[in-house]
């Protein structure tokens, strides 16, 4: 398995381009299932999760054509942004098998589109420890309210529409908690339902809005995306379109944190600050100077950060996907930070690894107390999940000496060309087998 070797202590400096958003690209790829016409997505990030989703769709009968964008359009920092055209006219196997789903929970995003398009779907429950029946119960309840008959047997969700002609029916849906992919699944299913669907307590994440904008371009009739009430008036069919995927706000925030923790000064292009208000506010509270341009963000870090406390919650509050990165920057800040995680019940797995680097962190339930130190000492650490790995990279960059991060396949799921981008910012990092 690959490892990342980091020689810490160098302030990051320079400019890189941000890639397309993983968490927008994944539902957008599934939107192709809703139409017989080709859907072209541009600014597609080259990530393992994206190739996993493409493989999943291809085995259903979706024809996929990947093409890189002419060199002239290559973003600064050398990232070649790819485009993908998906043609689901030959969709004939509405099944998402366990061996593919177990590596990526987001595979559940095919459930709504397949049920709406084919009148049936057979999707494996995601595998893994932190789940069980719970994490997709809202997806299931919503589809049942729209008239789907759903059974869960041998680890598979089996859905079929009961109405004549296989169409779902519009319904008023309430989710017990804010769920991003739950909102996306139900919004996609509602596009082809007979009648109007209202989703109350909907997720307001920018990736939900990006998906809605693409669906509207395909002929869907959606209003309220970005608010907690989304209305969808079903149509008979959707057409194809070409849609550019929004920039990745979490990748953006991750590099801003890496510069903040190393006392650096960087500029991120092909991105937008409009979805990162609270993250940028927190970085400014920590003592960073942040300058916002139309499609770029600059950050100049102080010699040493002030500790900054965060509490995660659904958008527009502080994103849970930035919690691990903020724990990392607080390990070398001045003062003590309180980090409260309210979305996931066990999202502190990075804390014990940061403690191996010398960090002073106390965990009490869903709260972490981080007392900042002058410096961390490099060590060997292990990545456990995508954003936890990012926090270890940040801490390794800030630490003195060498840090070796194991199991970095987690990183490859969500960060395009991470070591190349870090190297372009002057970091001493390399991938070792
Ligand atoms: C999305 O996951 C993101 N993934 C996650 O990003 C992100 O952390 C999460 O939203 C929260 O912002 C994608 O968009 C592909 P949820 P999702 O449904 O949709 C519970 C990353 O690092 N729940 O909003 O799966 C659930 O257990 C990933 O890029 C149910 O109980 O998250 C969690 O506690 C990690 N039943 C909470 O709700 C359900 O049916 C929020 O989950 C659905 C969710």
- Write the pLDDT tens digit of every residue in 207-226: 999 999 999 999 999 999 99
Q: Residue 345, CB half-sphere, CA atoms under 13 Å: how many?
A: 5
Cα torsion through 322, 327, 331, 337, rounded to 10: 110
Centroid of chain to Cα 208: 11
| Pocket flag, ligand 1, residue 143 (CB < 6 Å) | no
Structure tokens at 192: 């082809």
- Write the pLDDT tens digit of every residue in 164-182: 678 999 999 999 999 999 9
Phi, psi of 219 (to 5 degrees): 110, 0
Most confident of 150-154, 239-243, 380-384: 239-243
pLDDT at 108 over 50: yes
| Pocket flag, ligand 1, residue 391 (CB < 6 Å) | no
| Pocket flag, ligand 1, residue 105 (CB < 6 Å) | yes
pLDDT value at position 360? 98
Q: Give the residue, by CA position, lying nearest to ligand 1 atom 44.
A: 135
Mean pLDDT calculated for residue range 30-57: 96
> Which element (helix H / strand E) includes 247?
none
pLDDT at 238 over 70: yes
Distances (CA, A) of 232 to 2, 177, 188, 238, 372: 45, 20, 9, 13, 48
- Look up residue 135 and give its DSSP letter: G
User: Is the model's pTM score more than 0.85?
Assistant: yes
Q: Look at residue 241 and give its three-state secondary structure.
A: strand
Lowest pLDDT segment from 127-141, 314-328, 419-433: 127-141
| Pocket flag, ligand 1, residue 26 (CB < 6 Å) | yes
Share of the chain above pLDDT 70, in %: 95
| Reported confidence tier of residue 345, pLDDT bands at 50, 70, 90 | confident
Whether residue 115 contacts residue 143, with contact meaning beta carbons closer than 8 Å, is answered with yes
pLDDT value at position 131? 30
Binning the chain into helix, strand and coil, the percentages to the nearest 5 are 35, 30, 35
Q: Is 257 a catalytic residue?
A: no
Q: Residue 261, CB half-sphere, CA atoms under 13 Å: how many?
A: 32
pLDDT value at position 72? 52
Ligand 1 probe mutation, 128, 130, 141, 182, most atoms within 8 A of CB: 182
């Amino acid at each position: 398995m690959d490892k990342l070797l980091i020689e810490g202590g160098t302030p990051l400096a320079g400019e890189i381009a941000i890639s397309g958003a993983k968490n927008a690209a994944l539902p957008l790829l599934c939107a192709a299932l809703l139409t017989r016409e080709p859907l072209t997505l541009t600014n597609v990030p080259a990530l393992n999760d994206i190739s996993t989703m493409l493989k999943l769709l291809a085995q259903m009968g979706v024809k996929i054509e990947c093409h890189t964008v002419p060199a002239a359009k290559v973003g600064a920092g050398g990232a070649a942004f790819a485009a993908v055209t998906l043609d689901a006219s030959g969709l004939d196997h509405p099944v998402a098998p366990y061996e593919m789903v177990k590596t990526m929970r987001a595979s559940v995003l095919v459930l709504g589109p397949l049920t709406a398009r084919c009148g049936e779907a057979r999707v494996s429950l995601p595998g893994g420890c932190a789940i069980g029946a719970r994490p997709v119960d809202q997806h299931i309840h919503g589809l049942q309210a729209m008239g789907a008959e759903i059974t869960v047997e041998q680890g598979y969700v089996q859905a079929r529409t009961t109405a004549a002609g296989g169409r779902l029916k519009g319904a008023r849906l309430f989710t017990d908690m804010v769920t991003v992919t739950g909102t996306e699944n139900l919004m996609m299913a509602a596009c082809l339902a007979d009648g109007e669907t209202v989703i109350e307590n909907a997720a307001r994440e920018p990736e939900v809005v990006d998906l809605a904008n693409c669906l509207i371009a395909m002929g869907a009739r959606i209003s309220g995306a970005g608010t907690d009430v989304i209305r969808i008036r079903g149509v008979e069919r959707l057409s194809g379109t070409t849609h550019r995927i929004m920039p990745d706000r979490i990748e953006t925030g991750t590099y801003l944190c890496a510069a903040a923790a190393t006392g650096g000064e960087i500029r991120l292009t092909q991105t937008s600050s409009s979805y990162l208000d609270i993250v940028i506010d927190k970085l400014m509270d920590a003592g960073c100077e942040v300058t916002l341009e139309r499609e770029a963000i600059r950050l100049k870090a102080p010699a040493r950060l002030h500790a900054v406390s965060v509490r995660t919650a659904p958008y527009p509050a502080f994103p849970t996907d930035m919690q691990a990165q903020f724990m990392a920057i607080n390990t070398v800040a001045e003062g003590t930070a309180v980090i409260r995680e309210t979305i996931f019940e066990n999202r502190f797995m990075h804390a014990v690894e940061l403690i191996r680097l010398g960090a002073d962190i106390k965990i009490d339930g869903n709260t972490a107390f981080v007392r900042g130190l002058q410096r961390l000492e490099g060590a060997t650490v292990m990545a456990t999940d995508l954003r936890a790995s990012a926090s270890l990279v940040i801490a390794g960059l800030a630490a003195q000496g060498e840090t070796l991060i194991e199991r970095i396949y987690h990183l490859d799921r969500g960060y395009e060309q991470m070591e190349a981008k870090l190297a372009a910012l002057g970091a001493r990092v390399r991938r070792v087998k």
